[in-house]
Chains A and B, each alone.
Chain A
Amino acid sequence: MIKAILIFNNHGKPRLIRFYEYFAEDVQQQIIRETFHLVSKRDDNVCNFLEGGSLIGGSDYKLIYRHYATLYFVFCVDSSESELGILDLIQVFVETLDKCFENVCELDLIFHMDKGGFSAAPARAVSAVKNINLPEMPRNINIGDINIKVPSLSPF
């Protein structure tokens, strides 16, 4: 089970936050902060798994993250998920965002949080992955381009 999906930038500003279990707002922010502190300390060439988030879950839970340009994508999952699988899932998720926003960048998430929010719903993200047999190569994710043009999102 995925317990939470956290996306924040290099400064720890939340960009898209989904919790699949209820936490009060202040606890949520605390979790985000804690996760950010754990993740941001790490070099880019170390492994993408982290244990020891004390606020969320417990020993059964892991943080699995990827760092793309200015954004951290962190998934908090329990032991029933395959670690490598979740890494692939993050990849697919980013690609999905990329397709939705045409060259996704941090600003897309900032400005279209409502749309991002729904594409992050577990049923969607997980099933997206399970249907698509992983796509070829990740497309480049554009950093500098401030692209506020809204691609007409079909209802799902």
Chain B
Amino acid sequence: MALKIVKGSIDRMFDKNLQDLVRGIRNHKEDEAKYISTCIDEIKQELKQDNIAVKSNAVCKLTYLQMLGYDVSWAAFNIVEVMSSSKFTYKRIGYLAASQCFHESTDVIMLTTNQIRKDLSSPNQYDTGVALTGLSCFVTPDLARDLANDIMTLMSHTKPYIRKKAVLIMYKVFLKYPESLRPAFPRMKEKLEDPDPGVQSAAVNVICELARRNPKNYLSLAPLFFKLMTSSTNNWVLIKIIKLFGALTPLEPRLGKKLIEPLTNLIHSTSAMSLLYECVNTVIAVLISLSSGMPNHSASIQLCVQKLRILIEDSDQNLKYLGLLAMSKILKTHPKSVQSHKDLILQCLDDKDESIRLRALDLLYGMVSKKNLMEIVKKLMLHVDKAEGTTYRDELLTKIIDICSQSNYQYITNFEWYISILVELTRLEGTRHGHLIASQMLDVAIRVKAIRAFAVAQMATLLDNAHLLTGNTQHSGICEVLYAAAWICGEFSEHLEDPMATLEAMLRPKVATLPGHIQAVYVQNAAKLFSTVLCGQEGAPADSKVAQETSQLLIDRLPVFVQSDNLEVQERASCILQLVKYIQKLQQKDVEVAEEVTALFAGELNPVAPKAQKKVPVPEGLDLDAWINEPPSGSESEDEGRKTKGKAVFAKEESRHTKPRYTEVDEKELAKRREVRKAEQANNPFYIKASPSSQKVYQEAVGVEHIPVVQIDLSVPLKVPGMPMSDQYVKLEEERREKNKTDRKKKDKKKRREKGRQRRGDSGPESEEDITPAHMVDIVTEEMPENALPSDDDDKDPNDPHKALNIDLDKPLADSEKKLPVRTHRPDEVLKSPIEDAEGLEVTSEPKKKSRKEKKDKESKKDKEKKKKKHKQEEGEDLMEAGSEEPVQSKVTNDVAAQPPASTPEASDLDFWLSNAPVPSDPQEAAAVTDAPPASTPDAASGVAAVVPDSEPEETKSSKHKKKKQKREKDKKKKHHHHHHHSDGAREESVQNGTVEDEEPLPPMSNYALLAENSYIKMMKQDADEVCDIQGNLHDGSQVVVSVIFENKCDSFIKSMEFNVMDSLNSKLQRPEGAGPHDSLTVPFHLPPGISNEARFIFSVQSIVMPQKLKGTLTFIVKTEDSSTHEKLDFKLHFTCTSYLITTPCYSDAYAKLLESGDLKGSSLKLEGINQPFHHLLARICFHHHFSVVERIDSCASMYSRSIQGHHVCLLVKTADQTVSIDAKCDEPGLLRNVLDEIKLTFSQC
């Protein structure tokens, strides 16, 4: 043994440490990868040793390799081992490694909970610190929930070092576990006034970060921050606060008014550029929020612009950049004050610094007018030529298009110029923005009718010169423009000068090298062109030979496309080929076909707004989430496959309207339904009908008639041979303007005034109206459905974690909330509906909630309701444990009642503070604000009320037919062994505990079992055993919590429910102090019809070795309109031995030690004929019997659990050929026997 140790330490002397590794890598520059792979092999060896020093050295090296890009997730467990070392130097390495490579899906994270908790409460502040720092990087929702309380305690630690870290990490906790925000917030607020400046600024940082995402909830902190702002001298804190105010002012204009003065003072007084800049920024935000009604703030604007000009003129590029950045914010509301600095900004376009040029470009966007657009774009085009092959050029390109197309092409006076600019842009090689140019071409050609002839001519040239675009860079994005070109030429082929030539160009063999989707368009539009050619030819019947030649051309060229490997191209080509062949046959018989062929492509396309479909309001009574038919049990995937296959190409008109059905419905029925639906659609104004009627809609659309349609000014030649030069247009335009000006002078002024009114009145320094567009083109507005819903939330990211943090913080905390919710048995319950805790969190993001639910069926909805309630009750239970008189209170009513008086003072506080603003606010505004904060109250109330319509109507339905006063049926009392019953009402996603493989989805499992039921009420119970204190002594620790769901099944009101259980020697229902041993507990809620709610009851248990059965009664009053009856329901509570077990994670080494100790007595069990997958089996044991998997190797797993009285229970589960053998060890044989019996029962039932 001693020798081994000596040998080990000698070995270690030869181990590489990090420095050696780094040196080695530097010495092996040529074969670095090889060297590192040998190092990793060494590290793997080192990790196998028991010596923690060796391990931590290995982990340290791994951390370095991780930074170099090597995956080290395989060592996650070793990292955990090093983290749990008692020596700080090792622990630190462990935490560093964990913070670098752990993330939410790292499975060993759940093993760290206890270790981290231990470190957090360590007497050594550095242990705590390192744990906090590490945790901030890899906190998961589970960790956040489990450790929130510990971290909250640390926020009041004596050492500022710890307080600071704890405050900062709370932000991450809030993100992962939004429920903690409300309970923790008061303390966070306190920290704003912490004596230590570090802690204070940490708190400011956290609150600013929170407030940035959901500013309105933090409005009430404004006075506090205002005080900090005027008193603090720490520039870092000031910057954060000023930034925060920038986020708050848009919500409260009066706040802005109050801020302007101190901010201007700061601007004048501070020497710190960063602070000055932030002040200017916030002043701008204030001015934006005030922009409507405050003319006398022009001085502030001037001040800002003037300061920004100084920044921009500064030689420091950083300041220049920031100046431009801030300038672009002013531009939005006060364009005039920026436009006067146009010279400066144009100058910045020539800056050598790309970031600055980009910023200047942004500014240009707002500075163009009808007058200078051409000039500016010309300048930009010069830059485009210079900036060959850079991202900056791409940026320029998009900017040019943005500038030109902004607000519906408002500034473009000459579309021919614009088209030629677009065509010029196509000459850029290697740009990524081909599709952007293409969509602009399409957009202009479709929406500007008058330009089509010109556009078609240009596109034809483009098609003819396609080889220039595709050239050698086949993969470059620019060939996208051919897509647009082909489509425009095809669709508007009547404008083509020489359709035959274009057709020829489109069918060149080289086209086959283009991307598939472009080829498809080529083929389709070749057909359109073909029809045009036929049309033109048959006008002169003598020339039918040409028509036949055209057909022959198609027949010759199309086979290339038929062989395409792109399905779409292939299908279209073969379709059209057959068509043309048929036409050719007819032509040979001298049949007139032109008309028929043209009919194929008749009708005009209208532009439809991109959001049109989304804005169609959902008709009343249509539930998009509901199943049309009951979902099928199996064969779903097969149907799915068929469905998609059918839909892929050219779905039929009808099938597009018909939702895919899962169950077979006979044809007749289908046809009937279709008829009904069509009739409905015809009557439904919201339904977008097929094209003919939609055209009508467009014609009826308001405003179209008011768009003046002016004939094309023929001073501009329509056809430019060869590639166009936009410069020509610039020159022409200038001449034209000159001419117009002189013309205009002669005309009377009246007309001018009229015109000025017609166009949106933005007049530059020189009157804009002087410039008439070359041809005022009717810009066809995009179609929108009638009654389109105004919705602004289109662009919000549904995945933003901050959405869940939109929590009202002004509401006073309910008693139950003062503590953080404690850990429950089924972790993802809370996870799944973090924001739906109706009581504590007022959620305003309704739409999101909806969309989340979308896919879940009703059942899960109902489930959520239950969970919601469960959560609530759980909090109630905390209260109960705290020894309050009332066992469980009715939270819902309490809270709602408590709010109105509470939030109003808050609001009026803020109001009072704001009304002291130097600028008197007008009363209307004030009224609006007093209204606003209390508005949260009805919101909250409706949140609670919303529970009602949501809950499952099914149960009520079943009892609806029964008469109200029908005698109670015989108790359908079923005896249940609770854990293994799949009661459909409370189905829920399984929780796997310890099983992390993603082999197959686990079957749903539920811990709820039917307790008793009659025609009035249904009780379901789940026993969640919980101990007050896990480390607590036996006297306090032996509690079992039973949660019971009460569901009202009749359609009368149920109230005064009283729950009573006959105590046995061993187990007692915990009653409030002073109550007698036989008194019953009042269930803290009433049940309206169809509603279910959950209550929790606590039992104290003496001995946990034996299962227990308790008899109980529930009495309640059924209240109908005219009478009320007293009813009673008997039930039996069955406490199994597993309900005394607590899921406790265990490390494998601790587990091994436990087994080695020899204190445990064994027993074993064999189960035959189990044919479920092993991980299902494990999940079942974990879920129903509260075990956790310690280790799993193939078809063998070790599991662990602990009883509430501290007995260890270890299982070794093996499976082979449908036989499962379980070897078990426990320090209490009686308990073990019973647990095994129960496990056996679980599996015999499934």
Contacts and interface: CB of A to CB of B under 8 A. Distances in A.
Contact of A47 (B60, B64, B100, B321): B321
A25 B69 contact: yes
A52 B71 CA distance: 27
B96 A122 contact: no
22 contacts: A14-B69, A18-B100, A24-B71, A25-B66, A29-B69, A43-B353, A47-B321, A49-B318, A49-B321, A52-B391, A82-B239, A82-B278, A84-B322, A113-B67, A114-B63, A114-B93, A127-B164, A127-B198, A130-B198, A130-B236, A131-B197, A155-B92
A15 to B, nearest CB: 8
A47 B212 contact: no
Interface in B30-74: 60, 63-64, 66-71
A72 B480 CA distance: 39
Given A1-B209, A127-B164, A85 B239 contact: yes
Contacts of B352: 43, 46
Contacts of B358: 51-52
B355 A84 contact: no
Given A22-B104, A117-B96, A118-B96, A80 B274 contact: no
B687 to A, nearest CB: 37
Interface string A30-45: 0000000000001101
A118 B133 contact: yes
A20 B316 CA distance: 30
B356 interface: yes
A80 B18 contact: no
Interface in B309-355: 316-318, 320-322, 352-355
A17 interface: yes
> What interface size band does chain B fall in?
35 or more
Interface in A1-30: 1, 14, 16-20, 22, 24-26, 28-29
Q: Is the interface of B mostly helix, strand, loop or mixed?
A: helix
A61 to B, nearest CB: 14
A84 B243 contact: no
Contacts of B243: 80, 82
B205 interface: yes
B18 A114 contact: yes
Contacts of A25: 66, 69-71
Contacts of A137: none
**Most chain B beta-carbon neighbours within 10 Å: one of A17, A88, A122, A131:** A131
Contact of A46 (B93, B165, B197, B355): B355
A121 interface: yes
A81 to B, nearest CB: 9
A84 B318 contact: yes
A155 B66 CA distance: 24
A48 B317 CA distance: 8
Nearest to A32: B69
Interface string B1-26: 00000000000000000110010001
Nearest to A29: B69
A105 B1126 CA distance: 84
A143 B255 CA distance: 51
Contact of B274 (A22, A88, A124): A88
A130 B201 contact: yes
Nearest to B242: A82
Interface residues of A, number: 49
B212 A80 contact: yes
Contact of A123 (B132, B138, B354): B132
Contacts of B274: 82-85, 88
A28 B164 contact: no
A47 B312 CA distance: 12
A82 B243 CA distance: 8
A82 B169 CA distance: 21
Nearest to B69: A29
A127 B132 CA distance: 14
Nearest to A85: B274
Given A82-B243, A84-B318, A123 B136 contact: yes
A33 to B, nearest CB: 10
A126 B205 contact: yes
Interface string B228-267: 0000001111011001000000000000000000000000
Contacts of B96: 114, 117-118
Contacts of A133: 234-235
Interface of B: 18-19, 22, 26, 60, 63-64, 66-71, 88-89, 92-93, 96, 99-100, 103-104, 126, 129-130, 132-133, 136-138, 164-165, 168-169, 197-198, 201-202, 205, 208-209, 212, 234-237, 239-240, 243, 273-274, 277-278, 316-318, 320-322, 352-356, 358, 391, 395
**Most chain B beta-carbon neighbours within 10 Å: one of A20, A83, A88:** A83
A123 B291 CA distance: 39
Contacts of B130: 118
A71 B103 CA distance: 28
Contacts of B212: 80
A84 B60 CA distance: 34
B36 to A, nearest CB: 13
Contacts of A48: 317-318
Contacts of A130: 197-198, 201-202, 234, 236-237
Contacts of B209: 1, 80
A126 B391 CA distance: 33
Nearest to A27: B69
Given A26-B69, A85-B236, A111 B133 contact: no
B260 to A, nearest CB: 20
A12 to B, nearest CB: 12
A47 B63 contact: no
A133 B233 CA distance: 10
Contacts of B168: 122-123, 126-127
Nearest to B124: A155
A22 B93 contact: no
Nearest to A89: B236
A87 interface: yes
Interface in A73-96: 80, 82-85, 87-88
A45 B320 CA distance: 12
**Most chain B beta-carbon neighbours within 10 Å: one of A43, A113, A130:** A130
B164 A123 contact: yes
A87 B197 contact: no
A125 B564 CA distance: 59
Nearest to A41: B354
Given A1-B209, A25-B71, 14 more contacts: A25-B69, A42-B354, A47-B316, A47-B353, A49-B322, A82-B243, A114-B18, A114-B64, A121-B99, A121-B136, A127-B164, A127-B168, A130-B234, A155-B126
**Most chain B beta-carbon neighbours within 10 Å: one of A29, A110, A124, A129:** A110
| Top 6 A-B residue pairs of the complex, sorted by shortest distance between their CB atoms | A84-B274, A47-B317, A22-B103, A46-B353, A29-B69, A47-B321
Contact of B133 (A1, A82, A123, A148): A123
B198 A111 contact: no
Contacts of A124: 133
Contact of B318 (A42, A43, A47, A110): A47
A45 B68 CA distance: 30
A14 B236 contact: no
Contacts of A87: 318
A112 to B, nearest CB: 8
A141 interface: no
Nearest to B316: A47
Nearest to A114: B60
Contact of B64 (A24, A49, A113, A126): A113
Nearest to A131: B198
